[in-house]
Amino acid sequence: MGAFVFQRHLHRHDDVNLVMSALGDDPQCLPVLIALGATLRRDVASALREVIATGAWQSDVRARGSAAHWREEPRFQVFLDHGLEKRRNRGPKYEHLDTALLTFPETRAALYRVSAAGCPQHCRTKTGTFAEDRHVDDYRQALFGWYAAIQHAHACVVRAGRWFADPQRSDSRRPEAFTDWMSGTRRRHSSGAVPAAEPAAQRALQEVILMMHAWSPHTFEAIDVAFQKAEGEDASHGWGGSFEPAGRYEAQAAAEALASVLSPQERQHVRAVIDGIESDDEFRDMDLAKDSTLACTSDRHRAYGAGPGEREDCATARGRVYEEASQPWGEGVDRAADAARLARFLLGPHTDRIHYALAARGAVARGTTERAPQVWNDNAEPLREAREAAGLDLQDAAGHLGIKPATLQRFEQATGKLPGRPVSLGYLQLLTLTCTQAGRIAPACIPKAISQPVISLPTTL
Mean pLDDT of 4-10: 54
Lowest mean pLDDT among 267-276, 346-355, 452-461: 346-355
What is the per-residue pLDDT for 100? 92
Which amino acid, 161? G
Which has the higher per-residue pLDDT, 417 or 198?
A: 417
What is the per-residue pLDDT for 299? 64
Lowest mean pLDDT among 311-315, 344-348, 454-458: 344-348
> Does the pLDDT of residue 212 top 90, yes or no?
yes
Nearest to 48 by CA among 168, 121, 136: 136
Most confident of 112-121, 235-244, 358-367: 358-367
Nearest to 320 by CA among 300, 301, 347, 302: 347
> Distance of CA 432 to CAs 40, 171, 446, Å?
47, 77, 8
381-408 pLDDT, tens digit each: 999 999 888 878 888 788 888 888 889 9
Q: What percent of the chain has pLDDT over 70?
A: 65
What is the per-residue pLDDT for 129? 41
Residues listed for the chain: 461
> Does the pLDDT of residue 150 top 90, yes or no?
yes
> Does the pLDDT of residue 363 top 90, yes or no?
no
Pair 348, 342: CB distance under 8 Å: no
Which has the higher per-residue pLDDT, 216 or 9?
A: 216
What is the per-residue pLDDT for 461? 35
Which has the higher per-residue pLDDT, 165 or 346?
A: 165
DSSP notation for 201-237: HHHHHHHHHHHHHHH-TTHHHHHHHHHHHHTT-----
Query: How does residue 208 score in pLDDT terms, banded at 50, 70 and 90?
Result: very high
> Distance of CA 387 to CAs 260, 361, 376, 392, 397, Å?
76, 19, 13, 6, 9
Mean pLDDT of 307-336: 65
Question: Is the Cα torsion angle 142, 276, 295, 94 positive or negative in sign?
Answer: positive
What is the per-residue pLDDT for 146? 93
What is the per-residue pLDDT for 191? 40
> Does the pLDDT of residue 209 top 50, yes or no?
yes
For 138, the enclosing helix (H) or strand (E) is helix 132-165
Distance CA 105, CA 45 (A): 9
> Does the pLDDT of residue 151 top 90, yes or no?
yes
Pair 113, 346: CB distance under 8 Å: no
Which has the higher per-residue pLDDT, 323 or 48?
A: 48
DSSP notation for 291-358: -TTSPP--HHHHHTT--HHHHHHHHHHHHHHHHHHTS---TT--HHHHHHHHHHHHS-SSHHHHHHHH
What is the per-residue pLDDT for 44? 92
Query: How does residue 327 score in pLDDT terms, banded at 50, 70 and 90?
Result: low
What is the per-residue pLDDT for 3? 43
Mean pLDDT of 406-427: 87
Give me the phi and psi of 428, to 5 degrees please.
-65, -40
168-193 pLDDT, tens digit each: 666 666 666 788 777 766 554 444 44
What is the per-residue pLDDT for 13? 83
Distance CA 98, CA 108 (A): 9
DSSP letter, residue 241: T
Helices 308-325 & 105-117, crossing angle to 10 degrees?
Answer: 50
104-125 pLDDT, tens digit each: 877 887 777 777 655 444 555 4
Q: Left (φ > 0), alpha (ψ -120 to 50) or beta: where does 288 sit?
A: alpha
> Does the pLDDT of residue 256 top 60, yes or no?
yes
28-58 pLDDT, tens digit each: 888 888 888 888 898 899 888 888 877 777 7
What is the per-residue pLDDT for 143? 92
Mean pLDDT of 13-30: 84
> Does the pLDDT of residue 210 top 90, yes or no?
yes
What is the per-residue pLDDT for 211? 93
